[in-house]
Structure 1
């Protein structure tokens, strides 16, 4: 299934994309696409629906973040060998974990703000894992049982805040609008191998990132298991799994975003995002 949230910001309604690509409303059945709807039993009920009986949503409404009420937005740094090399960072022996505040989450096509004082705003196309079953001290071989599905994440980053402002990555990762997710939450049954997904990102029509989840250092089950050793994961939590090479920081000379530019990004089977950059108010 492709689950969505649509409508104006803060008032999104739940929906799904049917087999013909038609947006249909789910609001008579569930209140939102959030944790309690993403547990295995609830997803099984939704899979059993006759989608032709659901109301068609007319027009082209805004798509909001594909998961509502996210509890934790966990990110993995330097998880692609060639990205670590372009950043001049050592290859990690264990996954690098940082957190993005959930206040940064926006829809897949919402504007991205260049923060006040920013000079090095960057892009990162990433595969997002959406948790569907509580996970604590999970074994690698059991990790897929805890995955509801996947989505695209643009892990927007302000490198000057991240790397030049006194420690920890979080301050450069959590600015408002720095977490576009969606357009859809694609349930795990439709993505049989999350380690075989091509991904790309363009800025103003110029290809900047081309990669594949095949080159991740730590794969999906390893990440779910690893993170669960340090914090419990709840349905609706998101793990963003790192980015392939081609970020602005790694270019020679570096290239960064300014207001008025457009990012366009995609991962196989998970749709596309498109954001325009604006100056923060």
Structure 2
């Protein structure tokens, strides 16, 4: 089942896909543009993977790590479907990162690979923007790159794990202003989902609502003010987002 969270008429509602837009839990039907889209779940810690597709690592001229490159993201960076992400005026290269987001369903500690998928509640789409100008180097994302307000878009839907037949065979696609720029498959993950859960849970406890962003394929291009970016993943829907300027945020 697909379900999301939206704000409408002064309240937060669970929402479901409908041919005319979205259906709220109370039965009302709304146009997609008449609601404010939130992250589809109330999330906990966000773990993000860097360079977890071999071709993307090659794209950035970086060789494989012995362990997964993982960093944490704060909640202030997250916005929902149809949200707006600011592009600072002083940057030269800002790009999207379409990623499969894995949602943990129950406490996970010292989980073995063969049992790992039992701890997955479901999936959603993430678009985790990066500004290359702000990187200390290509493989150590710093706070300004990966914890910017509005820099991580989640949604629009949370999909139960049972509804995805084979999470290792999903296709990811990113369009900028309608043109396809990025395309990849989850089968090409360097460290797959069971291995990520085994790795993370070996030294810390994962909690329900925690999210693992599994990395992005190759095919990144610069985005500019006014661009519409759409990320698609098979079975999970289409996550739309617009790039705005400093002026739009009343910044000089």
Give the TM-score taking structure 2 as reference length. 0.89
1:279 aligns to 2:245 (yes or no): yes
Gaps of 5+ in 1: 27-53, 249-255
- Is 2:58 aligned against 1:59? no
Aligned counterpart, 1:228: 201
Q: Structure 1 residues 102 and 9, CA, compared in 2 at 3 Å: closer, same or farther?
A: farther
Q: Which residue of 2 aligns with 1:7?
A: 7
Q: Give the deviation of 1:247 after TM superposition.
A: 1.2
> Compared with structure 1, are the counterparts of its residues 98 and 15 closer, same or farther at alpha carbon in structure 2 (3 Å cutoff)?
same
Alignment length, in residue pairs?
244
- The match for 1:200 is 173
Once the 2 structures are TM-superposed, how far is the Cα of residue 58 of structure 1 from its aligned partner? 3.2
Q: Structure 2: where are the runs of 5+ without partners? A: none
Q: 1:24 to 1:200 in 2, by over 3 A?
A: same
Measure, in 2, the Cα distance between the counterparts of 1:213 and 1:198: 7
**How far did residue 94 of structure 1 move?**
1.8
- CA distance in 2: counterparts of 1:2 and 1:211, whole angstroms: 23
Matched residue, 1:267: 233
| Residue pair 1:16, 1:25 contacting (<8 A) in 2 also | yes
SS of equivalent to 1:127: strand
Match of 1:134 in 2: 107
Give, in whole Å, the separation in 1 of the partners of 2:178 and 2:31: 27
The answer (yes or no) to whether the contact 2:20–2:29 under 8 Å persists in 1 is: no
CA distance in 2, matches of 1:56, 1:163: 48
Aligned to 1:86: 59
Pair 208,10 (structure 1): closer, same or farther in 2 beyond 3 Å: farther
Q: CA deviation at 1:170?
A: 3.3
State the partner residue of 1:120: 93
Conserved in 1, the CA contact under 8 Å of 2:174 and 2:180?
yes
1:158 aligned residue: 131
**Map 1:167-178 → 2, pairs under 5 A:** 168-178=141-151
CA contact (8 A) 1:209 1:245 kept: yes
Tell me how far 1:198 sits from its aligned partner.
0.6
C-alpha distance in 2 between matches for 1:191 and 1:150: 9
Distance in 1 of aligned mates of 2:137 and 2:9: 33
Q: Which runs of 4+ in 1 moved over 4 A?
A: 8-11
Task: Give the secondary-structure state (helix, strand or coil) at the position aligned to 1:218.
Answer: coil
Cα pair 1:3 1:14 within 8 Å, conserved: yes
Which protein has the bigger strand share?
A: 2
Q: TM-score, normalization: structure 1?
A: 0.80
Give 1:164 deviation, angstroms: 5.4
Deviations 1:131-154 (CA, angstroms, capped at 9, x unpaired): 111112211111111111001000
